[in-house]
Structures are given as C-alpha cells and as structure tokens.
Homo-oligomer: A and B are copies of this chain.
Amino acid sequence: MAQRKRQLVAAEITEAALQLCAVKGFDTTTVDEIVEAAGISRRTFFRYFSSKEDVAIQLLASLGTDMRDELRARPAGEPPATALRHAVGIAIDHCVDEPLKSLRVVQLILRTPVLHARMLERQAQWREGLTIELAVRLGRDPATDMFPEMAARMALAAFEAAMLHWSVSDGAADPHVLTDRAFAMIGPALDQAG
C-alpha cells in the first residue's frame, strides 16, 4: 500500500520531469521547476530520486536484470549468439511495447551528454551481469578468459547501435530488425570457440 503510493508519486515526478525536459532540455530544467510541476517539495524529490539524472536513468532500471534473467533462462546448449540475441531482445521488446514512451526517453538520453554518460555507466553494470552469466553457461573463468566479457561487450554494442539508429529514425525503423542487422555483424565472433 505504501509501496503503491510511492510508485505513484515517482511516476508523477517522472512525468513532470520528462514533460519539462522535452520542452526546455535537460540541462536548463531545474529541480525546482520539476518539483513545482509535480506539486512536491524539493526535499521529497531527492527522497525519490538520488539525482536529477536519476529520473531519466531509473526508467531503464530493470533492463539489466531482465536481460540477465533471460540469458539465464535460455537453453543450456544454445549457441552464445542466439542466447545473447534473445537476452537483448527482452530490452528491445520494451521499446516495441511502448514506442512513444521509450522513444521519448531514448532520444532525451542520447541528445543529453550527461545522461548519455550515465547510461553508458549503467550499461557497464549490465555487461558485468551478462559476463558472469555467460561464463557460467560456457564453463569459462572470466578472470583469465576474456571471451565471456568480450561477447557481452559485443552484444551490448549491437544493442546500443540498434537503439541509436532507432532513435535517429524517430521510431520509423523496426528495433528488432535493426538489432538483427547489428547481430549479423558480431555473429562470426560470438559463434567461434574463443
């Protein structure tokens, strides 16, 4: 019950923030403007989000664990390229399910350097998760064997490339098609034994 209210307030803050950022841009939008639009106090804002950037970044919060969980759920015998394609597909599905919301956030992040930086930092955490999961699947030691890490890096590179092209196409391109095209380029490296 308290949890529900908390999510509701967070959603209101997020909506107000995205609305303002879409009009004024992220950097010129102040926290004071956001809290006024959301009808809360400045102090409360920072109880819901650890920083102004956090409002945008939080929207991608579950993607990392979702991708990792999907990778873990894939059949054990599946080749890395296929398993990683499905894992990344989970994140892509979010864009397909809610294209308007997703596109708005992705474009805001990609055209705001500080948000882009934070997203890349978060992606590095996703990579760690995928690396470990992949190492377990393949029975390799990620400390001495670079293949799980490099495979995770390549998969996320494909993901990011697909997101970028989807963003510049203004949502016109099919995210899954873009992802397939990107994965076609890294496939030969993922299927090798390493």
Residues of A within 8 A of B (CB): 113, 116-118, 120-121, 123-124, 146-147, 149-151, 153-154, 157-158, 160-161, 165, 181-182, 185-189, 192, 194
Residue from B116, B154, B188 within 8 A of A124 (CB atoms): B116
Residues on the B chain within 8 Å of A124, using CB: 116, 120
Q: CA separation between A154 and B158, bound complex, in Å?
A: 9
Which residue of chain B is the closest to A144 with respect to CB atoms?
B165
Residues on the B chain within 8 Å of A165, using CB: 146
Determine whether the beta carbon of B150 is less than 8 Å from that of A161.
yes
Residues on the B chain within 8 Å of A153, using CB: 154, 157, 160-161
Residues on the B chain within 8 Å of A116, using CB: 121, 124
A113-B121, A120-B121, A146-B161 given; 14 more Cβ-contact pairs under 8 Å: A116-B121, A117-B117, A117-B121, A120-B120, A146-B165, A146-B181, A146-B185, A153-B157, A154-B154, A154-B186, A154-B189, A157-B157, A185-B189, A185-B194
Residues on the B chain within 8 Å of A154, using CB: 153-154, 157, 186, 189
Residues on the B chain within 8 Å of A117, using CB: 117-118, 120-121
User: Are A157 and B161 also in contact (CB < 8 A) when A113-B121, A189-B187 are?
Assistant: no
Which residue of chain B is the closest to A145 with respect to CB atoms?
B181
Q: Distance in Å from the Cβ of A151 to the closest Cβ of chain B?
A: 8
Q: CA separation between A146 and B121, bound complex, in Å?
A: 23
**Sampled A-B contacts (27; CB under 8 Å):** A116-B124, A117-B117, A117-B118, A117-B120, A117-B121, A120-B121, A146-B165, A146-B181, A147-B185, A149-B161, A150-B158, A150-B182, A150-B185, A150-B186, A151-B185, A153-B157, A154-B154, A154-B186, A154-B189, A157-B157, A185-B192, A186-B189, A187-B189, A188-B188, A188-B189, A188-B192, A189-B189
Residues on the B chain within 8 Å of A186, using CB: 150, 154, 189
